[in-house]
Structure 1
Amino acid sequence: MIDSAYFEDKKAAYYTLGCKLNFAETSAIGRELADHGIRRARAGEQADVCVVNTCSVTELADKKCRQLIRRIRRQHPKAFVIVTGCYAQLKPDEVLAIDHVDLVLGAEQKGDVMRHLRERTAGLAVTTDTKRIRAFTPSCSADDRTRHFLKVQDGCDYFCSFCTIPFARGRSRNGRIADLVAQAEGVAREGGREIVLTGVNIGDFGRSTGETFLDLLRALDRVEGIARYRISSIEPNLVTDEVIELVAASSRFMPHFHIPLQSGSDTVLELMRRRYDTSLFRRRVERIRSLMPDAFIGVDVIVGTRGETEACFAECHEFLENLPFSQLHVFSYSERPGTMALRITPVVPADVKHARSRTLLDLSDRKLHAFYDAHIGREATVLFEHARKGGRMHGFTANYIKVETAYDSALANRLTPVRLDGWNADGTALTATLLSRP
């Protein structure tokens, strides 16, 4: 055991891979260490502690984690290296075997990094069996004063055939509405204008407290000082009409949805053990469009899963061609040890996966450009983000159109009315004419 005074002049570096939920949790770890005198290492400084929050959604994610850990050791050769996150929970011994990893903490231990750091026991992996993961660690990313990521839920009870997340994060659980509202109020006091609600399966909110996701949205909608909320990825069967109607009626919840489809083939959805079919998915999207014609609708889709025949992919492509979404997030299927999908045949060759991915990415580009083009010449309100002096500033409209303008420090973290002009030079955002200045 090391006395707390030992840490007062120490520095820590933080590294995060994967989802926005991981970023929120890393921020919470950073605040805990800062409360005990461990400040964040500045660029170029040698850190005494390095915390790595890992992802394991694909084999590529595991590989990136290993590469990052080795790079950290070269940059901070004397640091005490702690690895946590999904990769650490799923494969603790594999992570511990990476050169110079000192401590591996699983999902249940992620919220108690400081206690384990005090004990400073090297060469140890501390994890909890998935069935006994119960902790909900409050987390809110505060790394950007413009946008905060508020963790409202963790874990998943769905056990889709291709996914390891329930094994990495445990069963569905959540914070209490009163506590989450208090966190949102804290963000408002700090000057934050936008909060993104994050979790593994956020629409399943209430499993551990008896509350509902709709109750949470209503409570957050009443928090003064927060101008914008966005709902991160939410399952199609949980985007209820009531949730859609609340967003449509609210001035704070933005017309922006991110809904995982995963496949536009009902045959593949059944193999995936998903809890909806394409008919339900279409109804959800059409309901959003009927109430919010200009809403941004992002859709996740996986190509090349086991069992995805040419006919299944053709069904998926046709379904998406006729679906009024705004953008696709396309992922190539990656086999994960221990998943039920490994029993399914046939296996899709890598080159076929790549070709199918390219086909859907091209479709996504066409849909996104059409969505942006439809807004050129319109007026909108943009929340601009911080940027380096002299560079271009970026921000987003309520319906998540990326906007670019010349650098002006006064615009950062301010809701600014603009007229949307044409595309920028590299085709990644729309330029804008400011209609008023702060």
Structure 2
Amino acid sequence: MGSGTRSIAEHRAAALARVGPVDVVEVRLDDPAATGLTLAADVVAAAPVPAFDHAAMDGYAVRLADLPADGTTVELAVLGDVRPGTVPEVPEVCEHGAAGTTAGEGVRGRRGAVRIMTGAPLPAGYDAVVPVERTSTGRFVAGGPTTERAVTLARQPRDHVRRAGGDLQTGTLIAKAGTRLGPGLLATAAAAGVVVVTARRRPRVAVMSTGSELADLGTTAPGAVPDSNSVMLAALARAWGADVVRTGAVPDAAEALRTALDAASGPPGPRSPTDAAAPHAVDLIVTSGGVSAGASDVVREVLAGSDAHDVDVATVAMRPGKPQALATWHGVPWIAVPGNPVSAFVSFVLYAAPAIRRLAGEPAGSPPHDEVAAAAGWSSPAGVEQVLPVTLGPDGAVPAATDGHHLSALPHADALVVVPADVTAVRPGDHLAVIRLPEPR
């Protein structure tokens, strides 16, 4: 059983060394479960975007050769009407300048314009669109005539045509492996003809809290404390993209905790379509409470038994959250954090959240952080890293820190501020690292 005092970075590295990316699955982009998964392979465009030349504005498709270069207006016959999702059925223009014919047309050499709506394919031989508001028509009326007999217009500075492949060419890299599938990436890949991507399945995390005093929500028995920790840990795990198995409260009895850990690490249950085969029910176990030196600290007792492996009990030079532990339970990595709610919260963000990111296939070094100025000053204990939940101000500055042990600091917190161990007094204007918290899912 390991022991000793270490920094936050050292304990995070020890936690990350116990996890690796989960299984790879193939998932369709239109599967709702795809959102939030991390790509396991690069995604490249299977088709150009746009797929064909089309109108960027409602107006008239024209041949620039039919419009004076000096911007003089001309009157052109309106030869047809093209809408999105249709194939243009209007006279095609031959390369030498004369109008060709389509079925039912008997014109040759006829100049003209084609009424066209935004997104509609540009007829062959036409090379620009004049917006309707810059023509004699002025505007199109929904339900009105499908064509005008003629229109007066002039050459415009822009052609108002979106060219095939102007955004993405076939084979263009859209996103690299390790990128999370969000709405923008899903839309871009789908538009580029991609149907199925290779990704990491969503990690499964079991959370449980320990303590005989913990009771189901709404219980009012004397001495009972609502089990808020497992509710909080489950929400944090979901916010970082995991599927969650919430065991709830486990009493301070070694056999009860062993039973709960066995259930979490046991054989997997039913899988969703995006899940791959896995040897365990979950990929990570996170417990709160029982890691200090008290007589009721059941986690320490179980860690000393024969079923726990790779046990690493450490004192981390941080406040709050000094007592921490790591282990493996029947092959499943186990992160044990303190039972104080704020300590459990910051410990999850510092250690469990990076582990979930690594399981998901994302880069998982230090949590992404920003350097933010302090708006006010406060004292910090010597020799330890102070980690406090804060609500950043409108200008992004860190306000004066509040007591890190108060649960009331959490409801509106959107970041954790980390004060270095060698800083005993934060002064206004000092730059501090802040870890931004994810939006709830």
Band of TM-score, shorter chain: under 0.3
TM-score, reference length from structure 1 = 0.25
TM-score, reference length from structure 2 = 0.24
